[in-house]
Amino acid sequence: MSDYISHDHEHDGIDRRGFLQCMAWAGTGLLWTISGGVLASKTLAEIAKAGSLPAATDLSFLQISDSHIGFSKEANKDVTETFKIALDRINAMPTPPSFLIHTGDITQLSKPEEFDTFDEVLKSCRTKDVFFVPGEHDVLNDGGKLYRERYLKSVEAKGSGWYSFNKNGVHFIGLVNVLNLQAGGLGQLGDEQLEWLENDVKGLGSSTPIVVFAHIPLWAVYPQWGWGTSDSERALGYLKRFGSVTALNGHIHQVLQKIEGNVTFHTAMSTAFPQPAPGTAASPGPMKVPAEKLRSMLGLANVQYIQGKSSLAIVDSNLS
């Protein structure tokens, strides 16, 4: 297939084939890489053509978020099904990810039966290691007791459930920013957790790649809707000296990315329902889209780490 314009009826430099290619590009995931400060992107289709993702990947993991099991309103009447589809996508990957990170809102209402359904469906995933952080929907009535009993078994959690671990030379930090929220405020980490974080990274060399994950964005995406964390600046201060920091968040049910110095901020799609872009609706509540469009707005994020590269590559792909 050539890239020449064959039919230009509107004299606008776009033919039908070109337009369709462009639209296909818009509907698929993008791979973002940074090399020497230059941001580049590749579509998933291009990656598929070229073979797999970068050949010498040292670590690959998947971020999944906001499954909201128990939600059954118009925006998606079957969130269990779309969660299953997301797991099917993971199971179909030629190279399975080393582990999953779930960035919260496992359930809609923190009900035991919702957690049960989630756990049951998760059993179908071939990748067995899953690391969690809670969303506000997971800690509604018990301050997160049930969540902690179920989802922190494989980690040495402190306080209300924060922890860190190392994989392939990368230091991972799971933070809790959905508890003890103050009237009028945003997400919050709190002094105890921040002190722990300061100590946790103290002994690490500055060349250690850091992945920090939490439910509510660790940057001020849109404070008017509560999309931010009041004391995230202090947390990021402790991470400033590191050459590569990747912050993975959920909560806002859409992909947004920002790069600030050595820090890449990234939010993932939900597997349940989309939410409006910042400020484009009366409230951040579930967004209703035509049924045929829904899956294109749900998805997951694949994160690749290659030793020696200055940042991690993140590929978002939807469920359509």
H or E segment to which residue 88 belongs: helix 79-91
Closest approach of other proteins to the CB of residue 72, in Å: 10
**Residue 74 or 156 having the CB closest to other proteins:** 74
Q: Quote the tokens at residue 297.
A: 């707005």
Please report, for the chain, how many H helices and E strands are present, in that order.
8, 13
Cα→Cα distances 14→1, 23, 280, 319, Å: 16, 12, 30, 28
Biggest distance spanned by C-alpha atoms of the chain:
65
Closest approach of other proteins to the CB of residue 65, in Å: 16
| Contacting positions for other proteins (CB under 8 A) | 73-75, 108-110, 136-137, 140-141, 181-186, 224-226, 282-286
**Residue 174 or 226 having the CB closest to other proteins:** 226
Closest approach of other proteins to the CB of residue 135, in Å: 10
**Residue 287 or 306 having the CB closest to other proteins:** 287
**Residue 109 or 121 having the CB closest to other proteins:** 109
Closest approach of other proteins to the CB of residue 182, in Å: 6
Closest approach of other proteins to the CB of residue 146, in Å: 13
**Residue 121 or 181 having the CB closest to other proteins:** 181
Residue 147 CB coordination number (10 Å): 27
CA atoms within 13 A on the CB side of 163: 17
Q: Following DSSP, what letter does each residue of 166-200 receive, concatenated?
A: EETTEEEEE---BSSPPTT--BB--HHHHHHHHHH
Residue 175 CB coordination number (10 Å): 27
**Residue 237 or 285 having the CB closest to other proteins:** 285
Strands 100-102 vs 130-132: parallel, antiparallel or unpaired: parallel
Closest approach of other proteins to the CB of residue 288, in Å: 9
Q: How is residue 28 annotated by DSSP?
A: S
